[in-house]
């Protein structure tokens, strides 16, 4: 029972490089989210999606893009990585009826 | 913007003790409140979910309460065990965007001493 799976789990980038984080869920949830977690700041919402083909900005969207081409996948892209984007990124999916969220194991990104 | 605060930031207790973790939020118009556990270097595990119309939820040794009028939630852990050592996060759900976006506190790091 996989739940929410994130790849890759670790990545080191140089400033200016690009990359994509992949999130996959097998629970048939409509809602999906990308959060970042930084020391002393708690988790903050980057982007979210309420269904296939839809995306919306969260609290800290600058420097990131997302796509939800398939219901089960939610991609987070960094076009030109900056050291300020060094963080742990968490993907979550959520049920429409209860609003309960389920999280992946996280992806640790370091930008040098 | 919803602000969620958790106090204390860290707590150490001897094994077997009952304890309470506190969470406060500034906007009472929440959709739900969710408590999570996070182990070092790991993801978030959902512990309890309280809908806005509910007052409390229980799961095993855990009991979470919600008081929207005062903007507070508590997580009660009975008969604590070393395996309960982790960071506990509370998050308030905001429905106004059409999805249940969660606003998180910074967590309480719990250590249960054998």
A84-111 tens-digit pLDDT: 999 999 999 998 888 889 999 999 999 9
Please report, to the nearest 10 degrees, the dihedral formed by the alpha carbons of residues A27, A30, A36, A41 taken in order: -110
Segment A13-24 shows an average pLDDT of 97
pLDDT, residue B7, reads: 92
Nearest beta carbon to residue B44 from set A49, A59, A103: A103
User: Å from A58 to nearest chain B CA?
Assistant: 8
Q: Give yes or no for a contact between B31 and B95, defined as CB atoms under 8 angstroms apart.
A: yes
- Lowest-pLDDT range of A37-41, A62-66, B63-67, B83-87: A37-41
Q: Is the pLDDT of residue A1 over 80?
A: no
Answer with the residue of higher pLDDT: B94 or A108.
Answer: A108
Facing residues of A19 across strands? A78
pLDDT tens track for B15-58: 999 999 999 999 888 889 999 999 998 999 999 999 999 999 99
Whole-angstrom distance, CA of residue A1 vs CA of residue B106: 29
Q: Is the pLDDT of residue B96 over 60?
A: no
CB contact under 8 A, A105 and B93: no
| A31 at B interface, C-beta within 8 A | yes
Nearest beta carbon to residue A100 from set B1, B49, B101: B49
User: Å from B31 to nearest chain A CA?
Assistant: 8
| B93 at A interface, C-beta within 8 A | yes
pLDDT, residue B100, reads: 76
């Amino acid at each position: 029972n996989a739940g929410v799976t994130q790849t890759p789990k670790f990545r080191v980038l140089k400033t200016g490089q690009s990359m994509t984080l992949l999130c996959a869920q097998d629970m048939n949830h409509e809602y999906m989210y990308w959060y970042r977690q930084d020391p002393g700041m708690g988790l903050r919402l980057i982007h979210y999606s309420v269904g296939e083909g839809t995306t919306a900005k969260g609290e800290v969207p600058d420097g990131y893009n997302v796509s939800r081409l398939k219901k089960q996948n939610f991609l987070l892209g960094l076009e030109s990585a900056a050291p300020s984007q060094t963080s742990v990124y968490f993907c979550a999916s959520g049920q429409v009826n209860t609003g309960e969220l389920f999280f992946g194991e996280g992806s640790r990104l370091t930008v040098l | 913007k919803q602000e969620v605060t958790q106090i204390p930031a860290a707590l150490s207790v001897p094994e077997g003790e009952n304890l309470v973790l506190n969470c406060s939020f500034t906007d009472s118009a929440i959709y739900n409140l969710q408590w999570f556990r996070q182990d070092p270097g790991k993801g978030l595990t959902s512990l309890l979910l309280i809908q806005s119309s509910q007052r409390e939820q229980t799961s095993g040794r855990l009991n979470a309460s919600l008081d929207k009028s005062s903007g507070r939630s508590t997580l009660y852990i009975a008969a604590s065990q070393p395996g309960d050592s982790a960071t506990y996060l509370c998050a308030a759900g905001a429905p106004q965007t059409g999805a249940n976006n969660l606003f998180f506190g910074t967590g309480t790091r719990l250590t249960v001493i054998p």
